[in-house]
Structure 1
Amino acid sequence: MSATGTVTASSHELGDFSDAVARAYFPHRLLVKGRASGPADLRAVDLGPVRLARIGWGSEVSVESDHPGAWAVNVPRSGVLEAQIGAHHVLSLDGQATVCPPNEETRMTRWSADCSIVGMRVDRDYLVEEVAALVGLHTDRLPAQLDLRTDGGRAWIGLLGSIGTEALRNPSLARDQRVARRLAATLTAALVAASFPDEPGCGTIRPRIVSRVVEAMEADPARDWTAADLAREAGVGIRRLQQGFQRYLGSTPTQELLTIRLARVHGDLLAGRGDTVAEVATRWGFAHLGRFAASYRERYGVAPSDSLRSR
């Protein structure tokens, strides 16, 4: 597909128009839910691993697609875009973007007649590579919705509009593969920045890397966690995970797991949830009771048996 001009169709021609959208953006199943209130409109440009499209159906419709092999990030510039993405219900208005993952059934249950979207399709493998290169995350997950009122969101939507407009005005840009790839890389970098924003004071290490691992350890402290297990939870390498913990928490993943386990034991001893110290310590993953007792005393200033007796 090369850069195209405007495609229009009236409501009784939406079958042909739907075929054009499928070729330009994504294959889908269309259900027309209301009478036409205006012409359908499609403008699209191909930048290799990225495609841009502006789509308005002119009628209220629902659209189903599993977005084979690529992400779709859809920004309603008017009207309402309501979707069911797996277990997530996403309602997007102007200033928000609905993010549809590849190879997963998505139902746009309400695409209002006055809703015109600006969409960016980005190949899954290309985005995975860019996320890894730009933020050090080995993941194919994005948030289900983007807030375009953030600095990163505004930067991305601004580029999406300007690059899309210029590429449609000058089709030779898309025909030059080197230029098209540069434009695709610029847009994708902005999308990644909007999807994985920096947190204050954390430099290039994303706190979400740390938060994801802490949440996993909090959910199952007794599990026999290995460094590889924790790195897989974060979607990064072991060394990068350790750097993130050191920069953000001033500790290591092992030290944080110890803190979580000690807190669980402390709470259970004080609440009387257990007859012996050994029973409670074993419940929360401590296999060596001598080392456990030393760590407990260091943290709480008393022996665990004292906490048990004080209940």
Structure 2
Amino acid sequence: MSTPSRTAAAAPPAERVEAASTQVTSSDWDEVSALLSEAYFPHTLTPVSPRGVPDLLANCATLGPIRLARMEMGADVTVDSEHPGGYAINVPLSGQFVSVTRGIEVVSTVGQATVCPPDTATSIVEWNRECEILGIRIERQDLDREIARVDESGSRLPLQLDLRTPEGASWIRLVHSLAEQLGNDSGLLHNPLVADQLAGAVTTALVLAATPTIEAPAPRPRIVKRVLDAMHADPGRPWTAGDMAECAGVGIRRLQEGFRTYVGRSPSECLLDIRLERAHADLLHGEPRRTVTDIALRWGFTHTGRFAAAYRARYGRSPSQSLRG
């Protein structure tokens, strides 16, 4: 007997000028899909067992352009969605939550959050009956605009957030506080100006939690930004000082002076940071068959000993320790 799948209709656009909170329950799979689609994202929901009976309990709230949905399924399910138009940040409050995005498996437990990018296929391959999720939906235009404000290099959110860092803990405390106030039907939050301001605070705090070392940069000349953009786009390229200067359209000395003035670091130091960040992500969430050497070479490290030393200095552990988890 095949397991039924439930495809929910597209959710309506998020309201930007009001705050509201509702609680829904259901023990019918079709109704579960419809309710979660309206509260969160359209999706295809599949119960793991054809005999599984849902026991949905969901507390849903809207705060300007942000939606909050605290969800318990009461049964084991899988979910497929492309999260049209918005980011989904799924925070396990209990149990374990496993998803796959761009071929990368992300396993989140309490103290972590899974980020599902907008308009990108994501499969939740494990959402069991013991797992309660706090889902935060943020419209793509709002979060992308805030990312651009904080980090002009054009980086994107990682697929997982650590909520045990000071920045991560601060963000999730703010989310919990707002969810509680919405649940108590706080009249103040129904003021459109207050709702939008608080939603903006949540978005900004999320970006700072995802990129805790980034501060608002001083304006940089075009030559510096051009090289940084190129290094972010292809960090594994065997960059030379001449390559960087050619990319900027200036001499090597002028390029180095520009980096010292506007970034406070040399171009090669910036490239090392970018490569370490990419290698770190691959070690934690990359393909299981890759070795440390494979990952080092992929991101432009031709000397594994120097890579290991730089990685340990940056992250406090060896690459092999990160690869083993």
Partner of 1:197: 212
C-alpha offsets along residues 172-228 of structure 1, whole Å, 9 cap, x if unaligned?
4553221110111111111011100127xxx6559xx96993894552326984679
Q: Is the 8 A contact 1:210 1:245 kept in 2?
A: no
Q: Is the 8 A contact 1:26 1:65 kept in 2?
A: yes
Q: How has the CA–CA distance of structure 1 residues 256 and 42 changed in structure 2, closer, same or farther, with 3 Å as cutoff?
A: closer
Q: Among 227, 235, 239, which residue is 1:221 paired with?
A: 239
Corresponding residue pairs, total:
239
Q: Among 140, 150, 154, which residue is 1:134 paired with?
A: 150
TM-score by length of 2: 0.64
Q: How has the CA–CA distance of structure 1 residues 171 and 5 changed in structure 2, closer, same or farther, with 3 Å as cutoff?
A: farther
Say whether residues 1:159 and 2:169 are aligned partners.
Answer: no
Say whether residues 1:16 and 2:34 are aligned partners.
Answer: no
Say whether residues 1:148 and 2:166 are aligned partners.
Answer: no
Say whether residues 1:120 and 2:136 are aligned partners.
Answer: yes
Say whether residues 1:5 and 2:43 are aligned partners.
Answer: no
Equivalent residue letter for 1:194: A
- Supply the distance in 2 between the matched residues of 1:188 and 1:31 (Cα, whole angstroms): 31
Q: Among 35, 54, 58, which residue is 2:70 paired with?
A: 54
Structure 1 residue runs of 5 or longer lacking an equivalent are 231-237, 258-311
In the TM superposition, what is the alpha-carbon distance from 1:68 to its structure 2 partner? 0.3
Say whether residues 1:110 and 2:139 are aligned partners.
Answer: no
C-alpha offsets along residues 9-62 of structure 1, whole Å, 9 cap, x if unaligned?
12xx12112101101110000001135587311111112221111111111100
In the TM superposition, what is the alpha-carbon distance from 1:110 to its structure 2 partner? 0.7
Calculate percent identity across the aligned residue pairs.
Answer: 33
Say whether residues 1:64 and 2:64 are aligned partners.
Answer: no
Within 5 Å, give how 1:273-288 maps onto structure 2. none
C-alpha offsets along residues 213-265 of structure 1, whole Å, 9 cap, x if unaligned?
389455232698467967xxxxxxx99x8368741x3x3569989xxxxxxxx
Equivalent residue letter for 2:115: V
TM-score by length of 1: 0.67
Structure 2 residue runs of 5 or longer lacking an equivalent are 1-14, 219-226, 249-254, 273-325
C-alpha offsets along residues 92-128 of structure 1, whole Å, 9 cap, x if unaligned?
1111100000000000011011111111111111111
Greater helix share, 1 or 2? 1
Compute the RMSD of aligned alpha carbons.
3.5
Q: Is the 8 A contact 1:167 1:173 kept in 2?
A: no
SS of aligned partner of 1:5: strand
Partner of 2:48: 33
Q: Is the 8 A contact 1:90 1:98 kept in 2?
A: yes
